[in-house]
Structure 1
């Protein structure tokens, strides 16, 4: 039977692996197209699946309150936006012979009204906002350490400074999730919510 804690391990690991592959892909001065570009994006998309499972578990552990539901919905909506963005990246890699071709493909896609806002500029922010909200609720309920939201915030901010910090951010996220990896820390069945941590 799948451990309910497993997504809290595999989601950060996939994120970190994507970050490492991305760095390796850029060692020649250009990222994509090619094997590294494709592999990194596929790893990240797998990681999004584990994040979705982790979000659902955190939502349940937080009692499915109004705040928890808002965080969960934001996180899933953001995941969909990021997933579409990475899907576009994969298509660009398959259709293009070089980086110049990819950039031209991206320009055409992002010129479509609403695409940039939904899948690049604003939509993906919901993924991080939901993640931070759910971890904060668990911190309030003493399911994770009080400083866990600070680590998650750092995981969000670091790639904005430099995307080469993605592996470091993933490591911080893994530390934030560490209490949930202990045996019994996550309910084996999440079909019914636990007692709400915050009223609402």
Structure 2
């Protein structure tokens, strides 16, 4: 279970690192395609992948129920859509010779019916919604303190205002989930729900 705690840390750190690499890449006024674009998106994708076992580990702190299963499913669907979005950005960066071509490839992908809703505008938000609901359920079971939910919301909303706040968003999400680390790791003396 200690490995699960590492995933709970790695997911938010991946978001923060994605934001930092992105800021570094934009510092010269030329961001994508190229090494900086690929590095940022690979780090971001790695963070999303780490959220899969992290969400499962957090959910195991709650009793089994249809609500828990539904929230986990919602979160996983959002995560999958987010991973597709990152993957598309990586592929477009590899195929494009310059920023204009990369934008054109992105526009072509979004023009496919259903793609914009499924992988950009709507379904990826299920990840964040599910994470907030999961945190709320953990607060109700006293697995997280009350302030974890508003801090988590700040971490999610801040990058929506401007992607330049991604590092702060990732750190807020990390701080919101940190109180659950000992329970996720199965630290002696901390009850761990398996029902």
What TM-score do you get using the length of structure 1 for normalisation? 0.90
What CA distance in whole angstroms lies between the structure 2 residues aligned with 1:24 and 1:64? 43
Partner residue, 1:180: 180
Once the two structures are TM-superposed, the CA of residue 47 in structure 1 deviates from its matched residue by: 1.0
The 5 Å alignment of 1:29-40 reads 29-40=29-40
- Structure 2 gaps of 5+ residues are 187-191
SS class of match (1:61): coil
Equivalent residues of 1:15, 1:166 under 8 A apart: yes
**Is 1:158 aligned with 2:163?**
no
1:90 aligned counterpart, secondary structure = helix
2:132 matched to 1:136? no
C-alpha distance in 1 between matches for 2:99 and 2:145: 43
- Segments ≥4 residues shifted beyond 3 Å: none
Instruction: State the 1:2 CA deviation.
Output: 4.9
Judge conservation of contact 1:60–1:194 (CA < 8 Å) in 2.
yes
Partner Cα separation in structure 2 for residue 53 and residue 175 of structure 1? 18
Match of 1:57 in 2: 57
Work out the CA distance in 2 between the residues paired with 1:135 and 1:91: 33
- 8 Å contact kept, 2:2–2:185: no
More helix by share: 2
Q: Find the residue that maps to 1:82 and give its secondary structure.
A: helix
**How far has the Cα of 1:37 moved from its partner?**
0.8
For the residues of structure 1 that align with 2:22 and 2:144, how far apart are their CA atoms? 30
Q: Which residue number corresponds to residue 116 of structure 1?
A: 116
Query: Which residue of structure 2 aligns with residue 42 of structure 1?
Result: 42
> Is the Cα contact below 8 Å between 1:68 and 1:133 reproduced in 2?
no
In the TM superposition, what is the alpha-carbon distance from 1:24 to its structure 2 partner?
1.1
Structure 1: runs of 5+ lacking an equivalent: none
Instruction: Map 1:46-125 to 2 at 5 A.
Output: 46-125=46-125
2:151 aligned with 1:170, yes or no?
Answer: no
Aligned equivalents of 1:108, 1:4: Cα separation in 2 = 38
Matched-pair contact (CA < 8 Å) for 2:2–2:184: no
CA positional deviation for 1:90? 0.5
